[in-house]
A and B are shown apart, each in its own frame.
Chain A
Amino acid sequence: MSERPPGLLLTFLGIGIALLYLPMLVMIGYSFNASPLVGIWGGFSGQWYRELVQNAQLMSAAWLSLRIAFLAATAAMVLGTLAAIALVRFQVFRGRFLLTAMVNAPLVMPEIITGITQLLLLISMLHLFGWPHRGMFTIVLAHVTFCTAYVTITVQSRLASADRSLEEAAMDLGAGPVRAFIDTTLPIITPALASSWLLSFTLSLDDLVISSFVSGPGASTLPMIIFSKVKLGVSPDVNALATLVIGVVGVGVVIAGMLMRRADQQRQRDLQLAAQ
């Protein structure tokens, strides 16, 4: 499949990509607009960025969101990997069906339902044990729940394609099971771990609906603040914020793409060497 696709298809592709990017480009443009009114160009200005940095509410929400995302992504990576190992390595065990169902449930559930059910659980836990009070901790907990599902799926597919015999060879050479796993399988699934961590981090950072349900007084994440600002009308500093987000993500994705490409080329070379 490597010939030039027909013009019509390329046109469609071009239009589709333009549609995806046009709104973002417009927003980046507005973020430098001196006029606070949408649609009126008042000259180039960086004032919204200054206001953004000076907006203590937005800044503390951003810091809170980053901390939540970091904790949730890290915990989800560990739990999801363990679940993936259980699913791939132990083909038959009691509760396998339950575990599979639980892993998949958050993926097929609209987030508003996940949010409601999580909140009801937290409330009843509070009722029964007097713990946990709603706040940052409960948001992390809820995020771990749905991020774990994504991690499990990602790591599971990678783990399934990893060669088990390497680990067996290590064990024949006298390594304990944990040691064998760390030395052979872990390096193989590391790319999957990294990408699932990043995915979890982004999902957590972006989540509005579930956070709104499980959050308590005083714990407003960045999306919650943005949402309430946007609902009230135009806020140019949100444009500036969005531009920063797009910039960071853009740079990150380009770097990831380059790394992926290099790893791909490296693998090709290794394969060629192996074939010789």
Chain B
Amino acid sequence: MVFFLVPFGFALAISFAETAIRVPPYTDVLSIDHHHLHLLLKADNYRYLLTDPVYVLSYLYSLKTAFFSTLICLAIGYPMAYAIARTSRGTQTLLLLVIILPFWTSFLLRVYALEGIIREHGLLNQALLWLGLIHQPLKLMHTAAVVCISIVYSYLPFMVLPLFATLEKLDRSLLEAAADLGSPPWRAFLDVTLPLSMPGVIAGSMLVFIPAIGEFVIPTLLGGADNLMIGRVLWDEFFGNRDWPVASAVAVVFLVLLVGPIALYQHYQRKDLEVAA
């Protein structure tokens, strides 16, 4: 009973932290003297989100950025995971350590490291200039491409690990059977490997997509004025404009529109798996 009640009590307290606050009326506690006033204001905040195009545009922009970053991560991460899965066990452990190691170092410092390469006088431009491929340094900083690249760079391990986990368990004899039945390797890959690794693809994509969509550090450090992602809008609203009700409204809409569906989907998928098992 102790084992059950103690964590439950704590978790219950924590849950209030995370569910109760998401509900808009909660913020009226903030200004206890203006109960009614605040509740009225609340609806205005949501209307305000719709009238100011900044919010809608940054939602869409975040969605787009996260989508493309996830796609690129998948395109790079899948062959990597596949290659690791096909090496011997000892090599696998080593390669996995190599993939995980950057994740254990600081995320912030890694973004900063990337900045050192792509800034105007950074290594990339110098190398390209030296090779004679370009004559003017490329202005890569503060572009949408750089935001995408650094998201891929930061979250690639999240994609590789779940993919590896599913690919490693894959039964090789299925591929042999496909080959025996006359399937060329690419066909066998499409018919056997890809469908069987779908759980890994989905898990990896989630792990990249969700943090990418709320990303704050990368667009702030590397993005420009027109790469407004929702995380940054939220931050500015909160710390810059000190408009907490609007920031909360942005957060609620963010959660309901973008994260909620993903979380629900994941929940039901896990249920399906449990039923299947």
CA distance A99 to B98 in the complex (A): 35
Report A12-31 residues with CB < 8 Å from chain B CB: 12-13, 16-17, 19-24, 26-27, 30
Size class of the contact patch on chain A: 35 or more
Select A227's contact among B83, B88, B217, beta carbons within 8 Å: B217
Secondary structure dominating the interface of B: helix
Q: Is A184 an interface residue (CB 8 A)?
A: no
Q: Is A34 an interface residue (CB 8 A)?
A: no
The answer to whether A145 touches B14, judged by C-beta atoms less than 8 angstroms apart, is yes
Residue-wise, chain A 228-241 has the 8 Å CB interface mask toward B (1 for contact) of 00110000001101
Report B70-84 residues with CB < 8 Å from chain A CB: 76-77, 79-80, 82-84
Question: Which B residues lie within 8 Å of A8 (CB)?
Answer: 79
B32 to chain A, nearest CB (A): 7
Q: Is A186 an interface residue (CB 8 A)?
A: no
Select A245's contact among B82, B106, B114, B267, beta carbons within 8 Å: B106
Q: Is A47 an interface residue (CB 8 A)?
A: no
Known: A39-B122, A102-B18, A118-B17. A231 touches B11 (CB 8 A): no
Nearest B residue to A10 by beta-carbon distance? Answer: B83
Chain B residues packing against A (C-beta within 8 Å) = 3-4, 6-8, 10-12, 14-18, 20-22, 26-27, 29-30, 32, 76-77, 79-80, 82-90, 93-95, 97-102, 104-110, 112-117, 119, 121-123, 126, 153, 156-157, 160, 168, 170, 172, 206, 210-211, 213-217, 220-221, 231, 234-235, 238-239, 244, 247-248, 251, 254-255, 259, 262-263, 266-267
Chain A residues packing against B (C-beta within 8 Å) = 1-5, 8-10, 12-13, 16-17, 19-24, 26-27, 30, 37-40, 79, 82-83, 85-86, 89-90, 93, 95, 98-99, 101-106, 108-114, 116-118, 120-121, 123-124, 127-128, 145, 148, 202, 205-206, 208-209, 212-213, 223, 226-227, 230-231, 238-239, 241-242, 245-246, 249-250, 252-254, 257, 260-261, 264
